[in-house]
DNA sequence: TATGTATTGCAATTATGTTGCAATTTGATT
DNA sequence: AATCAAATTGCAACATAATTGCAATACATA
């Protein structure tokens, strides 16, 4: 996490008389690149680090403060840091090694959203776009067919 | 679910000596429009209808047979019916009433995927695109700000 | 450093997801 | 239509994930 992000985080927390603690820094970092394995690992056991309960509670707090929002996809949800912390972007996600490649926002996507929103008289607030497939490295190995 | 879908489903199941049962029809329909509330409700309790366990098991079976696939978004996953059953499309999802509006696939999205994939030497397999916001009806009511 | 508030961790609870096994349903065959 | 083997389901028990209450700790500031 960048110093700038940390300052922003501190500022938003301060508004509600909340402290920027180690646990909250950790929680924030989890949300920057929420990778299935690492997060499950942290949430599954009481690692010597920070208690699972604290992570859950800080996620809730972040949501109240608008630091993250919850986006339903199917009947699960994903948590997404608000644009103020992570400029909006998209992901290429490798099905094999689970690596995530960040890609910049694209005008064509924004235009698409504008078009269909007008069509359905819909007021867009957030969007999520993710491409799964095989990264450069994993295409070389077997199993990427 | 359409008759055509039902026939397809039956055919895929038959290949593996599986039967098209009431429970499997129900499971399939859940996946057509997987809305958070209704699915949670069905999976949470043993409603007089079909047992939770059966739903879970049929989802697993569907996955093995390629009827649905699992797509990770953040540290949760979503289940998506394969294109053969539901032509690939995207969603406008209302944050207020949770209504889902289907939108057709768009060339501009496909082009975008092609472009960034080339850029990162990435082999795309699936993608997920979802816009959250407020539908026509809910914009009229309060709370949609 | 003393004080009131925010934060955390632990233990207990609830909700979600999985497994083993016996009972039921299916459709294929006689 | 009765029988049979295989597939499917439901129940109960279990495992894991998420939430809540409460007491202990850390924090900001006076």
Instruction: Check: pTM over 0.85? Answer yes or no.
Output: no
Q: What is the pLDDT of residues A96-114, one digit of tens each?
A: 777 788 888 778 888 999 9
CA distances from B110 to A31, A51, A131, B125 (A): 28, 42, 11, 12
CA-nearest of B64, B14, B62 to B34 is B62
Straight-line distance from CA B18 to C1' C13, in Å? Answer: 40
Nearest protein residue to the C1' atom of D28, measured from CA: A19
Would you tell me which residues 43-102 of chain A have a C-beta closer than 8 angstroms to some C-beta of chain B? 71-80, 92-93, 95, 98, 101
Contact criterion met (CB < 8 Å) for B92 and A128 = no
Q: What is the pLDDT along chain B (145 residues), one digit of tens a residue?
A: 889 999 999 999 999 999 999 999 999 999 988 877 788 888 876 666 899 999 999 999 999 999 998 877 777 778 888 888 888 888 888 877 777 888 887 788 889 999 999 999 999 988 888 898 999 999 987 654 4
Straight-line distance from CA A144 to C1' D24, in Å? Answer: 51
Triad B41, A57, B75: Cα angle to 5° = 60
Quote the crossing angle between the two packed helices B3-15 and B22-32, to the nearest 10°. 120
CA-nearest of B27, B32, B81 to B58 is B27
> Could you give the 3-state DSSP secondary structure of residue A91?
strand
The first and second tokens of residue A109, run together, are 């996507």
Are the C-beta atoms of B92 and B103 separated by less than 8 Å?
Answer: yes
What 3 state SS string does chain B have? CCHHHHHHHHHHHHHCCCCCCHHHHHHHHHHHCCCHHHHHHHHHCCCCCCCHHHHHHHHHHHHHCCCEEEEEECCEEEEEECCCCCCCEEEEEECCCCCEEEEECCHHHHHHHHHHHHHHCCEEEEEEEEEEEECHHHHHCCCCC
């Amino acid at each position: 996490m960048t110093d700038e992000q940390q300052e922003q985080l501190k500022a938003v927390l301060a508004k509600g008389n909340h402290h920027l603690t180690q646990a909250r820094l950790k929680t924030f970092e989890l949300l920057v690149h929420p990778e299935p394995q690492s997060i499950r690992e942290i949430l599954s056991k009481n690692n010597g680090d920070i208690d699972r309960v604290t992570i859950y509670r800080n996620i809730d707090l972040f949501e109240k403060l608008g630091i993250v929002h919850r986006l339903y996809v199917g009947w699960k949800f994903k948590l997404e840091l608000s644009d103020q912390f992570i400029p909006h972007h998209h992901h290429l996600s490798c099905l094999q090694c689970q690596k995530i490649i960040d890609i910049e926002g694209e005008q064509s996507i924004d235009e698409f959203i504008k078009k269909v929103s007008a069509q359905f008289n819909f007021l867009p607030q957030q969007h999520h776009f993710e491409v799964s497939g095989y990264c450069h490295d994993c295409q070389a190995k077997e199993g990427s067919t």
